[in-house]
Structure 1
Amino acid sequence: MLHGAIGASCQLKTIAGLLASDYDVHLLNFPGHGGEAFPEEAFSIPLFSTSVHHYIQKHQLKHPVIFGYSMGGYVAMHLAKQHPQLIRKIITLGTKFHWDETIANRETKMLNPETIAAKVPVFAAGLEAIHAPNNWREVLQRTTDMLLAMGQSNPLQPEDYKTIQTPVLIMLGDRDKMVTLEETVNTYKNLPNAHLAVLPDTPHPIEQVNAEMINWFIRQ
């Protein structure tokens, strides 16, 4: 199970708990997230993809199913592109597949640490807690740099999805204000072996998602 940008694996524990009775569930943090040490290199999708690959090898996981929330879904897709035989199936939720300069600039404006600390101190405190002992402000700055780079050049281009043979279920909440239905459908159409689900009464933040519903779709 792969978490989203500026997030951590602890945010997926509720869904993981529902799956644990029947599945061997693995929660991992990307480098620099959830207290993991900051990498020497910049945050990037290839970096996170490589970290998941190493985790799979270290734990000798044979053709795992990967659930990726938001950025975690993008990382799973990138991993499937780079290592076609590694993953059995992918499930994404609220993954933003299309990035350009305008989108990156808009999204990164919401990642200003000082603005967050001043206007939404509860959210800032939550970020501090899940990333300790790391500085949550550095997590946001590194994420900002990554998204701006993605705005210049997507790690995955539309033609890349056409080569991913891994079975994929793409899920999008009908209340998601970050990810558009258009980009989700376009990606779904480009994938050779994909299914699409639009979830009712579902916004983008993972904390507001119906875990029971996600559990049902993952099991299906």
Structure 2
Amino acid sequence: MQHTKIPILLLHGALGAAPQFDSLKSLLEAHYDVHVLEFSGHGQQPFSAEGFSIPVFAGEVLRYLEEKSLDFIHIFGYSMGGYVALYLARHQPERIGHIITLATKYNWNEATAGREVKQLNPELIEEKVPAYARVLEERHTASDWKEVVNMTAILIEDLGHQSLLRANDYAQIASPCLLMMGDRDNMVSFQETIEAFKALPEAQFAVLPDTVHPLEKADAPLLAYHIRRFTTQKI
């Protein structure tokens, strides 16, 4: 199967779904064969019998590549999507081209996971941030959004007990990687991003100005610029 444009896959973060990429997708479509995948349990995808974890999501990406007859793909991963992309590059390097991450948390331990899990309480979200609860309800049409939140909390707790990517894993990732973070991101630290950047053999690091964690508040044209600039560099 011939592809005239270079394929790129957009991977959403925890509690995310495909429509969050609508603006970015429209900016990239002139230059790329753009693919957007929803992980099981998110958006319009029901929960998988295989579980709800980074390895399960990585397996779903591989199945998607098979279905679309894609031997090789660049990946832009937001937050958890970036972690899935790096996990794939570590375990399936021949399938993955350039990786661009935004707002990805690289350093998981019990303390960082514990802080995240405290925020992932559906009753608390409903009480304290009802507008966000409505967003989640509208976003996750195949499942109960509260169950998605609960499953995400378990996933993060598991990552806290056993991080899937450590410094020696990053050191073995051959894919060129661009790690991006916002200067106002209160969920991801400069320290962990720079540590991952230094551990990766082929990496670049970019700080986006006046940028907080939520993808919806990122500057889509700026993201598209960085993605194009990075993926046109030779592997």
TM-score bracket, shorter-length normalisation: over 0.9
For 2:50 and 2:92, locate their aligned partners in 1 and report how far apart those are by CA, in whole Å: 22
Note if contact 2:74-2:97 (Cα within 8 Å) is conserved in structure 1: yes
Note if contact 1:164-1:192 (Cα within 8 Å) is conserved in structure 2: yes
**More strand per residue:** 2
TM-score by length of 2: 0.92
3-state SS of the aligned residue for 1:25?
A: strand
For 2:124 and 2:14, locate their aligned partners in 1 and report how far apart those are by CA, in whole Å: 18
Q: Give aligned-pair identity as a percent.
A: 47
For 1:102 and 1:133, locate their aligned partners in 2 and report how far apart those are by CA, in whole Å: 32
For 1:31 and 1:48, locate their aligned partners in 2 and report how far apart those are by CA, in whole Å: 7
The alpha-carbon deviation at position 40 of structure 1 amounts to 1.9
The residue number in structure 2 matching 1:218 is: 227
The residue number in structure 1 matching 2:5 is: none
For 1:112 and 1:100, locate their aligned partners in 2 and report how far apart those are by CA, in whole Å: 19
3-state SS of the aligned residue for 1:24?
A: strand
The residue number in structure 1 matching 2:163 is: 154
- Whichever residue aligns with residue 212 of structure 1, its letter is P
The alpha-carbon deviation at position 196 of structure 1 amounts to 0.6
Give the number of aligned pairs.
Answer: 220
User: Which of the residues 141, 166, 169 maps onto 2:175?
Assistant: 166
Note if contact 1:30-1:48 (Cα within 8 Å) is conserved in structure 2: yes
Note if contact 1:42-1:146 (Cα within 8 Å) is conserved in structure 2: no
Indicate whether 1:185 and 2:194 are aligned: yes
RMSD value, Cα: 0.8
The alpha-carbon deviation at position 116 of structure 1 amounts to 0.6
Indicate whether 1:103 and 2:112 are aligned: yes
3-state SS of the aligned residue for 1:12?
A: helix
For 1:133 and 1:158, locate their aligned partners in 2 and report how far apart those are by CA, in whole Å: 36
- Whichever residue aligns with residue 112 of structure 2, its letter is I
Spell out, residue by residue over 1:144-166, the C-alpha distance to the aligned partner (whole angstroms, 9 max, x if none): 00000000010111100000001
For 1:53 and 1:78, locate their aligned partners in 2 and report how far apart those are by CA, in whole Å: 12
- Whichever residue aligns with residue 117 of structure 1, its letter is E
Spell out, residue by residue over 1:26-73, the C-alpha distance to the aligned partner (whole angstroms, 9 max, x if none): 011001101201112431111111111111111012321100000000
For 1:110 and 1:12, locate their aligned partners in 2 and report how far apart those are by CA, in whole Å: 24
3-state SS of the aligned residue for 1:26?
A: strand
Segments of 4+ in structure 1 off by > 6 A?
A: none
The residue number in structure 2 matching 1:79 is: 88
Note if contact 1:42-1:142 (Cα within 8 Å) is conserved in structure 2: no
For 1:108 and 1:16, locate their aligned partners in 2 and report how far apart those are by CA, in whole Å: 30
The alpha-carbon deviation at position 13 of structure 1 amounts to 1.2
User: Which of the residues 37, 47, 50 maps onto 2:56?
Assistant: 47
User: Which of the residues 202, 214, 224 maps onto 1:205?
Assistant: 214
- Whichever residue aligns with residue 8 of structure 1, its letter is A
The alpha-carbon deviation at position 215 of structure 1 amounts to 0.7
Stretches of structure 2 that go unaligned for 5 or more consecutive residues are 1-9, 230-235
For 2:64 and 2:142, locate their aligned partners in 1 and report how far apart those are by CA, in whole Å: 22
- Whichever residue aligns with residue 56 of structure 1, its letter is L
- Whichever residue aligns with residue 61 of structure 2, its letter is V
The residue number in structure 1 matching 2:39 is: 30
For 1:120 and 1:84, locate their aligned partners in 2 and report how far apart those are by CA, in whole Å: 40
User: Which of the residues 109, 113, 118 maps onto 2:122?
Assistant: 113
3-state SS of the aligned residue for 1:66?
A: strand
- Whichever residue aligns with residue 137 of structure 1, its letter is K
